Amino acid sequence: MMKHLLGLLFVSVFIITSALVSSPAMAAIEVHNFKSPENEARYQHLIDELRCLVCQNQNIADSNAGLAYDLRQKVYEMIQAGKSDTEILNYMVERYGDFVLYRPPVKGYTLLLWFGPFILLFGAVVLLIRFARQRKDLEVFDEAELQDIRTLLKQTSGDPK
Amino acid sequence: MKMRFLWPLTLFALLAGLLGIGLTLDPKKVDSPLINKNAPAFDLGQLNDSTLHISPDNLKGQVWMLHVWASWCSVCLGEHPLINRLSTMQGLTLVGLNYKDDRLAALSWLNKLGNPYQAVAFDPEGKAGLDWGVYGVPESYLIDKHGVIRYKEVGPINDTVLKETLLPLIAQLQAETL
């Protein structure tokens, strides 16, 4: 019995650690030679930030789709050509819209997206406070009511104390 | 006092309404930021003759449609009869963009099913497609006489879109003066 338990423990520890250690799966193995480690970090950051439009809930770093491959290639080429991050993101937005960014910019029609949750939270807090106050009101009895309660309790259980 | 019990109900109705609207939206329909912008330039060889080049600049002054398709795209197969019909229409120049395809496969596809295009640009690597914001096939862009993209349809054109949106828009763009 003890042996079994130990075995089980060992297996679960093994599974958990291997899950923690393994790096996030890259969709495809692509070899890119960057001019500097900074450029490589920028590349990694940009492909994490860009959405794959075919498989909409993945970024282009994680996607196997042909379009994601093309976009990664384009990001690589633009970095090699010395373009800045802003220039690369602008290039993508000009063609695919804000939707291509996982973090859309704060502007007119994205205001609700950015601040809607906070408005809802505020509303919920206001409602909560209101309900809490009403509850308290219910618990307050005046002297006459308390007298009634005492009489009733005396009648049912004999001794109120 | 009664109103207190109406609150949760109202909230529920609002939320249900909001989610209901969300269900009717198609997340695949991403509005193109290129609408009302100049059509991106390309200079590509034609599918049937790579020495002949085609560029949106050549088409200024005409109302034209760029139809993105590929022989590997099964949805294009279903859409093709409608594109063939569209090609007989007066006042619309139909240009194909053969996207990430094999030249021979694309040519035999057109031979078998009919070639509705006045010219087909051959884009095997999808570079022009990337510039146009193509993220799937088929896609169709309607471009006015000034070279401005006025409409984009993602996915196949169906009869409803053709009758209710495209035909009126084409007539409107035709009527515009240069």
Please answer yes or no on whether B135 and A94 come within 8 Å at the CB atom: no
Domain boundaries, chain B: 32-175
**CATH number for region B32-175:** 3.40.30.10
Say if CB A106 and CB A114 are below 8 A apart: yes
Residues B81, B87: Cα–Cα separation, whole Å:
10
Mutate which of B135, B137, B139, B152 to disrupt the A interface (most A C-beta within 10 Å)? B135
Task: Give CA–CA dist B29/B35, Å, rounded.
Answer: 14
Global pTM exceeds 0.90: no
DSSP assignment of A137-160: HHH---HHHHHHHHHHHHHHHS--
Question: How many angstroms separate the CA of residue B6 from the nearest CA in chain A?
Answer: 13
CA distance A19 to chain B (A): 32
- Whether the Cβ atoms of residue A50 and residue A102 lie closer than 8 Å to each other: yes
| Contacts (Cβ under 8 Å, ≥6 apart) of B122 | B44, B45, B46, B47, B50, B98, B101, B103, B106
For A91-104, the pLDDT digits (tens) are 999 998 888 998 88
Residue of A nearest to B126 (CA): A70
Partner-chain contact A54 B133, CB within 8 Å? no
Query: Do residues B44 and B53 lie in contact, with contact meaning Cβ atoms separated by under 8 Å?
Result: yes
Q: Which position has the token pair 């193995």?
A: A29
Q: pLDDT per residue over B5-59, tens digit each?
A: 888 899 899 999 999 998 888 777 777 889 999 999 999 999 999 999 999 999 9
Q: What is the pLDDT of residue B24?
A: 87
**pLDDT tops 80 at residue B135:** yes
Task: Return the pLDDT at B30.
Answer: 72
Q: Distance between CA A61 and CA A48 in Å, rounded?
A: 6
Give ipTM to 2 decimals.
Answer: 0.75
